[in-house]
Amino acid sequence: MDIELICLLAMLGVFLLSNLLLKLPVSISMVLGALAGAIVGGEGIPLRHLFEGTFTYVDTMLIISSAMLFMTVIQESGALEALNSVIVTHFYKYPALMLIMLMLVIMFPGMITGSSTAAVLSAGALVAPVLLLIGIPKEKAGAIIAIGSIMGMAAPPINIPAMLIGGGVDMPYIGFDGPLLLLTIPCAVFSILFLGLKHCRNLDIEKLESGLDLEVGKKYGFKLYIPILALFVLLIASKAFPAFPQIGTCLIFLVCAFIGLFTGRKFNFWEKALKAMDTTIPVLAKLMGVGMFIQIMTLVGARGWIVVSCLSLGIAAVYIASFTVMPAFGAISSYGAASVLGVPFLLVMIQQGRCSDIVVASCLSFLCCLGDLMPPTALAGNYAAQIVGLKYKPVLIHCIVPFVVCIAVGLAVMLNSLTFA
Amino acid sequence: MKEYWKNIVVLLIALLFAVLASIDFISMQVQEKIAPNQNLTEVKMLSCYSPGLKGTDSDTEVYVFDSGNPGGTMLILGGTHPNESAGMVSAIATIENLEVERGRVFIIPWTNKSGFTHTSPLDGMQDRFSITLSDGSIRTFRVGNRLTNPVDQWPDRTYYEGTSGRKLIGSESPEIRNVNRLYYGKENGVLTERVCYGIYNLINAEGVDLTMDMHEGSPEFLYLDCTMVNQKADNEKAMSIASSMALSMQLDGLDMRTEYSGKSSYGLSHRSLGDNTASMMTLMETYNPSMGPLHGKMDDDLIVNGNEPNYYQAHNEGYIYFDVPENGYPLAERVARHLTCISYLAQSYSEANPHDAIVFEGLGSYDDIVEKGLGNLLKPID
Ligand SMILES: [Zn+2]
């Protein structure tokens, strides 16, 4: 057996043992797995590599943290609730349109933070009561939130698995917006219509209004939406004009969050911000753990071994693994799936030729994101079930059809990548 | 209260590890020593040509060899990308062995000096490698990162346009720390741009006629064993000089081709310095197996002996076009290739421009260098 394979098995073994048996958090398990790999690979405890891997995603981590603060503000200020009410009261006659708009609200925090957990815990938590109010059963509402948050995680502008995969092959994260929208929007629309539409024929507006909080919207009016608008303007302007002051994505989120403190309901910012960071830190820790894990895999040669082994298996095996093994790897970590499997798979597909690298990378990242539905970790799924007050299993059952459709869409686009390039 | 103490203990442990690791990272700021060469005329700093570099971690040494006899001027750049080790080692070997007979030669071994103080995350890069010299002494060299250290230049702007018109946006935005994207530089631009400006200004101030920028690439890269050429006013003449160099190398049994600088290669040395100075610009790439994503365990065997069975296998299975050598591609052969290229380039240039000839000795032929090995090419440090 190759020494690289032994290292790899040691890393995965220690990781799984720590995570499943010892019930340690994913991040800590990744650290232990990395340590095991370094020791088996004859590197001892290579402090510099452990640290360097940990700090790989420091910029992304700062963006996620600042985006979470922004989400907290627009959630607590009442902007999201008002948006829900506007959508329901204006569009209840067109249930399909209404559902699609609610789905976009669920996706929004995932889009700007790249984290499905952020989407579930912020917008998901606010849209869930609305879905129940419309008459969608609990388990389906949970499934909608789980799928929606994953679509948000995969949708542009921020898709972390796509960044991880691109970073692994030295491909700039440019031009992903189109393919990612092509993948996520149809799947999101299908999922919410499939799960929700039949429950919201003949909606009774009076019953809806009595269940919605219409006060916030009336009290603050358009002012509530200023932070969201400011965010769009600043994000787009800073990418469109080089002369525009480059304050950076983090500061844009923080500035908009600051504006939000004055445009709606008053709340204790310090307390809510601490709470938001409590939910964010495990996500950041996972990114640090993944960085350390991959750094050690590369150092001991396990990463090269995986790529070369994939190359030898041939292209068909790689395509099959990309829609089976890769989402399944999400049970460990969807970020891990992107780096450990996504990168070599993309390399194999690029070397094979006849494909558009950006479209293929987008599809692979999309398939990785779906891993967040995989039990037992099932980050998105478990949180979504918690929000509607259920165990994950009944919610998971309703996720199956949308999940299969997403896989099919991802695979179809990937196999025809040149058509969509 | 118990929770409080637990937190403090965790923080203290983290701090302890951080301090231990930082000792390792900080040690990368100690640069390689260069053995004395009696033919060396003077050592300047790049800040002489770009005042904005003074006192920064990017101010770098320029080694000047002036024959005192009339002739042309050549500039040799190593370490534009500090992870491409053959570039720096070739530059250092040149400084330790060169003897100029006509004209002048300027050599910069650590072009992006800040880049030598850190390594690239996720790549599992070794930060150093050693070479044993013929007298038994050991010389250690750093392996850096192709970009400027974020400690010296951070954060990367979302959208930046260099003087060449190259737009750095999206994930190309870290390239704002890549010397070879920001030519012809800007006097008071970002730190990396000030390095580019220093080189641009050096070429103008010293009337450099011929420049070689030494690089390496992973086997997936399409321009290996290739010299890029660009000169705006006199394109054909520059190409014929480079072609004559390539022919000489082929006669020695070495693969080498020449290509014009890409139309959209804005900001790269061969393109943007070619467009904006009078110097003939060339850039050469050799194959470095430690740089690619297929590389196996990272150790001296990979960096110094260039031994990578993974790439040989991938090539055999038809995934890699570059003709990967079965027994690896040792650093000595890569350095020999760079030095031979420099020698033949100067020779071809001198034949085409007899009044501005650049004539030097001391580097030896390809076979000489490979046979003697780096242990003899590099000189002991006292
Ligand atoms: Zn280079």
The nearest CA of chain B is from the CA of A73 a distance in Å of 24
Q: CA nearest B28 in A: which residue?
A: A48
For B122-171, write each residue's pLDDT tens digit. Answer: 888 999 999 999 999 999 999 999 999 999 998 888 788 899 988 887 66
Examine the pLDDT at B42 and tell me if it is beyond 90. Answer: yes
B131, B260: one domain: yes
B298/A301 CB distance under 8 A: yes
Question: Could you tell me which of B34, B53, B103, B92 has the C-alpha nearest to residue B350?
Answer: B103
B11, B141: one domain: no
Examine the pLDDT at B195 and tell me if it is beyond 70. Answer: yes
Residue range B189-214: mean pLDDT, rounded: 97
Q: What is the pLDDT along chain A (421 residues), one digit of tens a residue?
A: 889 999 999 999 999 899 889 999 888 999 999 999 999 999 999 999 999 999 988 887 888 899 889 989 988 999 988 998 999 988 998 999 999 999 999 999 889 878 888 788 888 888 998 999 888 999 999 999 999 999 999 998 889 899 888 877 767 677 889 999 999 999 999 999 999 999 988 788 888 888 888 888 889 989 999 999 999 898 888 877 878 887 888 899 999 999 999 999 999 999 999 998 988 888 788 889 988 998 999 999 998 898 888 888 888 888 999 999 899 888 777 887 887 788 878 888 887 778 888 999 999 999 999 998 987 667 788 888 888 888 889 999 999 999 999 999 999 999 998 888 7
Q: What residues in A contact B123, CB-CB < 8 Å?
A: 295, 298
B303, B338: one domain: yes
Q: Which of B24, B314, B317 faces A48 most closely, judged by CB atoms?
A: B24
Domain-by-domain residue ranges, chain A?
1-45, 46-420
CB atoms within 10 A of CB B15: 10
CA–CA separation, B222 and B228 (whole Å): 12
User: What CATH number is given to the structural domain containing B366?
Assistant: 3.40.630.10
The first and second tokens of residue B159, run together, are 């959208």
Structural domains of chain B, count: 2
Q: Which of A174, A246, A296 faces B172 most closely, judged by CB atoms?
A: A174
Ligand 1 centroid to residue A58 C-alpha, Å: 25
CB pairs under 8 A between A and B: 122
pLDDT at A103: 95
Question: φ and ψ at B242, to 5 degrees?
Answer: -65, -40
User: Percentage of chain B with pLDDT > 90?
Assistant: 81
Q: Which of B157, B167, B293 faces A169 most closely, judged by CB atoms?
A: B293
Q: Which of B24, B296, B298 faces A305 most closely, judged by CB atoms?
A: B296
B17, B123: one domain: no
Instruction: Decide: B239 and B352 in contact? Cβ < 8 Å.
Output: no
Q: What residues in A contact B121, CB-CB < 8 Å?
A: 52-53, 55-56, 291, 295
B21, B168: one domain: no
CB atoms within 10 A of CB A205: 11
pLDDT at B312: 92
B8, B58: one domain: no
The nearest CA of chain B is from the CA of A347 a distance in Å of 9
Query: Coil, strand or helix: which one is A22?
Result: coil
Per the prediction, chain B carries an average pLDDT of 93
Bigger pLDDT: B116 vs B233: B116
Query: Coil, strand or helix: which one is B215?
Result: strand
Q: Is residue B382 part of a domain?
A: no
Q: Bridge partners of B141?
A: B129
Residue range B211-222: mean pLDDT, rounded: 89
B39, B15: one domain: no
B171/A172 CB distance under 8 A: yes
B94, B171: one domain: yes
CA–CA separation, B9 and B342 (whole Å): 58
The first and second tokens of residue A395, run together, are 């919610």
B11, B151: one domain: no
B81, B26: one domain: no
- Residue of A47, A294, A313, A315 to mutate, testing the B interface (most B Cβ within 10 Å of its Cβ): A47
Q: Is residue B275 part of a domain?
A: yes
In which domain, by residue range, is B117 found?
34-377
B124/A295 CB distance under 8 A: yes
B3, B142: one domain: no
Question: Could you tell me which of B198, B264, B211, B271 has the C-alpha nearest to residue B242?
Answer: B211
B23, B47: one domain: no
Ligand 1 centroid to residue A142 C-alpha, Å: 50
Instruction: Decide: A246 and B160 in contact? Cβ < 8 Å.
Output: yes
A301/B159 CB distance under 8 A: no
